[in-house]
Amino acid sequence: MENQEAVENLCIDLERISKLASHGVTATALSDESDNDYVLRYFAPNYGISEDPVTGSAQTRLAPLWIKKLGKKQLVSKQLSEREGIMIVELDGEKVKITGQAKLYLEGQLTI
């Protein structure tokens, strides 16, 4: 998209997206912040996800694009969801390496 503000202010019609893009939609732009290279938001209503808070799978498409565009080996991406998420991405051959910090949201025990 044009800039970070456009991604931040994006209003998505989830019903329409569910019909047009079965795997969801990713919006991205260069970051306005000096500590991040690019920003993104991800919407996947067909998976029951209005807006994903942090989407590692989106990096498999975005990291190669932004690495080529910016000419850097390692980038920092910021997901502009309500809870936000920071991911460090780099290419390793055809693989995308993603690092970052996780937040514990569930703890329990599963008996099989």
Q: What is the C-alpha to C-alpha distance for residues 85 and 89, in angstroms, rounded to an integer?
A: 13
User: Are 80 and 8 contacting, i.e. CB atoms less than 8 angstroms apart?
Assistant: yes
How buried is 16 (Cβ within 10 angstroms: 0-12 exposed, 13-18 middle, 19+ buried)? Answer: exposed
Residue 15 to residue 99: CA distance in whole angstroms:
32
pLDDT in tens, 13-46: 999 989 988 889 999 999 999 999 999 999 999 9
Domains of the chain, with CATH numbers?
A: 4-100 (3.10.310.10)
Mean pLDDT of 63-85: 95
Beta strands 38-44; 74-79: pairing state: parallel
What three-state secondary structure class fits 40?
strand
Q: pLDDT at position 101, please?
A: 87
Q: Is the pLDDT of residue 4 over 90?
A: yes
Per-residue model confidence (pLDDT) at position 104 = 80
pTM (two decimals): 0.87
